[in-house]
Amino acid sequence: MTATLIDGKAIAENLRARIGASVAALRAEHGDTPGLAVVLVGDNPASQVYVRSKARQTAEAGMRSIEHKLPAETTQEELLALVARLNADPQVDGILVQLPLPAQIDADRVIEAIDPAKDVDGFHPINAGRLATGTGGLVPCTPLGCVTLLKSVRPDLAGLEAVVVGRSNIVGKPMALLLIAESCTVTVAHSRTRDLAAVCRRADILVAAVGRPEMVKADWIKPGAIVIDVGINRVAAPELGEGKTRLVGDVDTKGAMATAGAITPVPGGVGPMTIACLLANTLTAACARRGWAAPA
Distance of alpha carbon 198 from alpha carbon 116, whole angstroms: 39
Neighbours of 218 (CB within 10 A): 15
Q: Does residue 8 belong to the site contacting ligand NDP (CB under 6 A)?
A: no
Tell me: is residue 152 an annotated ligand-binding position.
Answer: no
Helices 270-290 and 141-153 cross at an angle (nearest 10°) of 110
Q: Where does this chain touch ligand NDP (CB under 6 A) — which range of 90-98, 176-184, 203-211, 253-261?
A: 203-211
Does residue 219 have an active-site annotation? Answer: no
Which is catalytic among the residues 57, 93, 98, 118? 98
CB 292 within 8 A of CB 286: yes
Does residue 98 have an active-site annotation? Answer: yes
**Nearest distance from C-beta of residue 188 to ligand NDP, angstroms:** 8
**Nearest distance from C-beta of residue 221 to ligand NDP, angstroms:** 15
**Nearest distance from C-beta of residue 168 to ligand NDP, angstroms:** 3
Q: Does residue 40 belong to the site contacting ligand NDP (CB under 6 A)?
A: no
**Which of 26, 157, 230, 286: binder of ligand NDP (CB under 6 A)?**
230
**Which of 212, 217, 289, 292: binder of ligand NDP (CB under 6 A)?**
212
Distance of alpha carbon 58 from alpha carbon 228, whole angstroms: 25
**Vertex 212 angle, CA 208 and 218, to 5°:** 60
CB 162 within 8 A of CB 179: yes
Strands 185-189 and 161-165: parallel
**Which of 211, 255, 268, 295: binder of ligand NDP (CB under 6 A)?**
211
In this structure, the dihedral spanned by the alpha carbons of residues 79, 167, 249 and 9, taken in order and rounded to 10 degrees, is: -70
Q: Does residue 122 belong to the site contacting ligand NDP (CB under 6 A)?
A: no
3-state secondary structure of 240: helix
**Which of 85, 151, 190, 234: binder of ligand NDP (CB under 6 A)?**
190
Q: Does residue 41 belong to the site contacting ligand NDP (CB under 6 A)?
A: no
Tell me: is residue 202 an annotated ligand-binding position.
Answer: no
**Nearest distance from C-beta of residue 16 to ligand NDP, angstroms:** 15
Neighbours of 162 (CB within 10 A): 26
**Nearest distance from C-beta of residue 229 to ligand NDP, angstroms:** 9
Q: Does residue 227 belong to the site contacting ligand NDP (CB under 6 A)?
A: no
User: Which residue number, 26 or 270, has a Cβ lying nearer to ligand NDP?
Assistant: 270
CB 86 within 8 A of CB 110: no
Over the window 137 to 176, marking each residue x when it contacts ligand NDP by CB under 6 A and - when it does not, the resulting string is -----x----------------------xxxx-xxx----
Which is catalytic among the residues 93, 115, 119, 121? 121
Which is catalytic among the residues 54, 118, 173, 222? 54
Does residue 115 have an active-site annotation? Answer: no
Distance of alpha carbon 172 from alpha carbon 207, whole angstroms: 8
Q: Does residue 209 belong to the site contacting ligand NDP (CB under 6 A)?
A: yes
Distance of alpha carbon 167 from alpha carbon 175, whole angstroms: 9
Helix intervals (H) in the chain = 8-30, 45-60, 76-88, 107-113, 125-133, 141-153, 172-181, 196-201, 253-256, 270-290
**Nearest in space to 150 (alpha carbons), one of 74, 228, 88:** 228
Binding positions for NADP(+): 166-168, 232
- Annotated active-site positions, please? 54, 98, 121
List residues binding ligand NDP (CB under 6 A).
142, 165-168, 170-172, 189-193, 196, 209-212, 230-233, 270-271, 274
